[in-house]
Amino acid sequence: MSSELLQTVKSPAVNSPHRTFPLERTRNIGIAAHIDAGKTTLTERILFYTGMIHKMGEVHEGTTVTDWMEQERERGITITAAAISCFWPEKKEQGLVKLFEGEKFRINIIDTPGHVDFTAEVERSLRVLDGVIVVFCGVAGVQPQSETVWRQANRYKVPRIAFVNKMDRIGADFDKVVEEIRTKLDGYAWPVLLPLGKEDQLRGQIDVICQKAIVYTDNDRLGSTYVITDIPEEYQAVAREAKAKLIAALADRDEAIAELFLEEKEPTPLEIKQAIRRLVVKNEFVPVVGGSAFRNKGVQSLINAVIDYLPSPLDIDPPKGQHPYTHAPVEVIVSDTSKFCALVFKIWSDPYVGKLVFFRVYSGILRKGDSVYNVRTGKRERISRIVQIQANERKDIEVVYSGDIAALVGIKEVATGDTLAAEGFEVSLEPPVFPEPVISMAVEPKAQSDREKLSHSLQRLMEEDPTFRVHTDTETGQTIISGMGELHLDIITDRLRREFGVSVNAGAPQIAYRETIRKHAVGEGKLIKQSGGRGQYGHVILEMVPLERGKGVEWESKIVGGTIPKEYIPACFKGIQEALSAGILYGSPVIDLKITIIDGSYHEVDSSELAFKMAAIFAVKDALKKADSYLLEPIMKVEVSTPSEFQGDILGDLTRRRGKILNVETKGNTSIINAEVPLAEMFGYVNDIRSMSKGRAAYSMEPSHFEEVPIHIYNALLDQKKK
């Protein structure tokens, strides 16, 4: 394997002779960003320049390929991550150096949503991607959802390129955005392609490494025609300085460049690119590209950067697998010749074909007619249909290879995060992690005859969206749906009407509160029933201790000597789980505590799984009464962008909403206010902020953490519930 290009050499040992594109010429990338940074527009341009489409669509016209849902086209936002494949020839261009000249590459792209309500789509996409383009607005810079996306990419160790978009807009500041990536996101980010000009003078890009200008011709509004030329004199000093800083930055992280740096030798463009690729793959460097997707300037160079710098499936560490029962590490080798192993990252209810199961193949080959083993359920299923997804189009294919992203039709028992493998290959891959819902509301069908249809439809929506939950209120019998925000639930009810033909009446949104405990407590639960014949007997003693905020729920058994037979322990855990789903204060889920079963007793004849499950429920309720339970509410991270003249009014309003002001920044005549505000106080904020700012302010918010509900709010909630 070449030390310079990692595993980019031809690898016949890992590639099937039948695959069209070898693994080293495959790129699985995502496009992610804050809402309205230009992700979908960028995707549309990439598809146009790669020849996948012959006419560019526009988000504001509702004509883009990846925003294919009716709701997406009406609202101009991305709701569901769309997968699409395209192909890019790395052709020789006079004056520019490429790492892979003359080769054709396959790029699998997933365009993800920017709105925080659909963050699960970003989470599961990043879990299965090898690289990501993080898009930033040249005017707004690093925004709240930019930070969320960056953290998600850090969690899954995804290499990335930063694209500073909208450099044609008034107020765009490339250098400021690069500095914010370094300071706010802790990204080791350095420009490789500078914008040539800005605002209405944006003409193209400066290739920092090759010291050339890429200038787009004014008479080609599609941006397909450009020339490689010398850098205009007024930009030469800036370009030289950018190259010197880039080489110094690389020398700090890369040995080969450091040696040349110490010997006072300037590395060649090829050596610089090889060093950048090494560091990007190791997640130690972020190349930054400036341009404007909407004005069609700089997209082709960005695609070249994707090919040059982002990894193939061979370049990154193999996925971490473990045995599903012993949890011992299991090696998954990325190769067509290995045993089949894939991760299900998304499920989608298609009105024409039924359940679509999206999966990423990590090793081996899967053919139509093969059987796969679901490691979680232990069941085997035969594959009757494999489809390649091109946004909302389906193309039937016969086989998928390692590194491919595709979908299955016809699999029944499967969930997001499941590992599909060859039978006998006992391996479980790390599933994506999803946030908990923060908002709920009651729904009921407008026509009583639709009650069963509603239940079935909600079940299908819950299967495809891990952040969407449905339960029945035990007191009122109402169907309660929970999600990540008002928009999320609004889209759900809209989909019920359009896709499933069920119109619903929806109640006012409610906060998804949580309960937790302050202190250690011991609880005891007994179920003793004797009414002639066989009775019921279960007896459980457990202890409960608080955990740090955000730790979730843990439970274990310390039963020794068989005071509770081991076959009843799983039933006890089921009872604990059920009891914690509805606490004693407000009926909310209980979080951040550890429960240990420490003792109990059984009856040789009358004990049963049901008896021990009920005894565990009683024991949990008993402990919660003694553990000083209290209520938690979701706190949102809020960023408001407003003309400075309205800053005072907006600050005062946020304070009245129990908000905690974190900081206020000034960018030109715009104030950026960052605050933490309880979600309960943010309903209807969109209308209030419009009236306060004459429609000129905007805001975004995302879940931050949970905090204790103030006592006067808690008492008001209890009074409201009693009514």
Residue 33 is labelled as binding a ligand: yes
Overall fold of domain 515-627: Ribosomal Protein S5; domain 2 (3.30.230)
Per-residue pLDDT at 349: 72
Counting runs of H as helices and runs of E as strands, what totals does the chain give?
16, 37
Per-residue pLDDT at 476: 65
Per-residue pLDDT at 115: 57
Residue 636 is labelled as binding a ligand: no
- Dig out the tokens for 607 from the structure: 């004990």
Residue 257 is labelled as binding a ligand: no
Length of the chain: 723
Residue 622 is labelled as binding a ligand: no
Counting beta carbons within 10 angstroms of the beta carbon of residue 20, is it exposed (0 to 12), middle (13 to 18) or buried (19 or more)? exposed
Residue 36 is labelled as binding a ligand: yes
Of residues 398, 407, 313, 339, the one with CA closest to residue 22 = 313
CATH assignment of 439-508, among 3.40.50.920, 3.30.479.30, 1.10.10.10, 3.30.70.870: 3.30.70.870
CA dihedral of 342, 345, 351, 353, whole degrees rounded to 10:
0
Q: How far apart are CA 670 and CA 659, in angstroms?
A: 20
Per-residue pLDDT at 377: 86
Helices (H), ranges, 393-526: 451-464, 486-500
Write out the H or E segment, with its range, that includes residue 350. strand 341-350
Per-residue pLDDT at 54: 58
Rounded to the nearest angstrom, the gap between the alpha carbon of residue 44 and the centroid of all alpha carbons in its chain is 21
Contacts of 237 (CB under 8 A, 6+ apart): none
- Dig out the tokens for 274 from the structure: 């090889």
Compute mean pLDDT per 10 residues along the chain, 723 residues long, and list them. 40 72 89 80 84 57 45 47 76 83 84 64 81 92 83 89 93 94 93 91 93 82 78 94 95 93 91 95 95 89 93 88 85 90 83 79 92 89 85 78 88 87 89 80 86 88 84 76 83 85 85 92 90 81 92 88 89 94 89 94 89 95 94 90 90 94 86 91 83 82 88 87 68
Per-residue burial over 553-584, b if 16 or more Cβ lie within 10 Å, else e, is bebebebeeeebeeebbebbbbbbbebbebbb
CATH code for the part of the protein at 26-309: 3.40.50.300
Residue 488 is labelled as binding a ligand: no
CATH assignment of 634-722, among 3.30.70.240, 3.40.800.10, 2.60.40.10, 3.30.420.40: 3.30.70.240
Per-residue pLDDT at 532: 62
Residue 26 is labelled as binding a ligand: no
- Secondary structure of 520-539 in HEC code, one letter for each residue: CEEEEEEEEECCCCCCEEEE
Q: How far apart are CA 46 and CA 296, in angstroms?
A: 10
Residue 333 is labelled as binding a ligand: no
Q: Which whole-number Å values give the CA distances from 652 to 12, 648, 673, in the listed order?
A: 66, 6, 12
Q: How far apart are CA 168 and CA 645, in angstroms?
A: 26
Residue 703 is labelled as binding a ligand: no
Residue 392 is labelled as binding a ligand: no
Residue 37 is labelled as binding a ligand: yes
- Dig out the tokens for 652 from the structure: 């005062």
Overall fold of domain 321-429: Elongation Factor Tu (Ef-tu); domain 3 (2.40.30)
The pTM score is 0.73
Residue 603 is labelled as binding a ligand: no
Per-residue pLDDT at 270: 94
Residue 112 is labelled as binding a ligand: yes
Q: How far apart are CA 696 and CA 719, in angstroms?
A: 39
Residue 317 is labelled as binding a ligand: no
Find out whether 164 and 174 touch, Cβ atoms under 8 Å.
yes
User: What angle, rounded to 10 degrees, do the helices at 647-656 and 685-693 form?
Assistant: 150
Residue 39 is labelled as binding a ligand: yes
Per-residue pLDDT at 133: 93
Structural domain spans, the chain: 26-309, 321-429, 439-508, 515-627, 634-722
Per-residue pLDDT at 465: 81
Q: How far apart are CA 341 and CA 574, in angstroms?
A: 30
Same fold, 26-309 and 439-508: no
